[in-house]
Amino acid sequence: MESNGILIPQNVTVEIGLFDYKRDMETMMGVEGADKNYYYFLKKIFELNKDVAVVENKKTIFPKVEVEIPNDIDRRYKVLSLFTNIQVV
Within-domain flag for 17: yes
- Domain of residue 76 covers 12-82
Within-domain flag for 88: no
Rounded to two decimals, what is the model's pTM?
0.68
Higher pLDDT among residues 89 and 46, named by residue: 46
Q: Would you state the pLDDT for residue 39?
A: 84
Q: Could you tell me which residues are beta bridge partners of residue 59?
A: 56
Within-domain flag for 7: no
The model's pLDDT over 29-44, given as tens digits with 9 standing for 90+, comes to: 888 876 677 888 999 9
Strands (DSSP E) along 20-65, which ranges?
39-48, 55-56, 59-60
Number of domains making up the chain: 1
Within-domain flag for 69: yes
Within-domain flag for 3: no
Within-domain flag for 37: yes
Q: Which residues contact 28 (CB under 8 A, 6 or more apart)?
A: none
Within-domain flag for 66: yes
Within-domain flag for 63: yes
Neighbours of 31 (CB within 10 A): 11
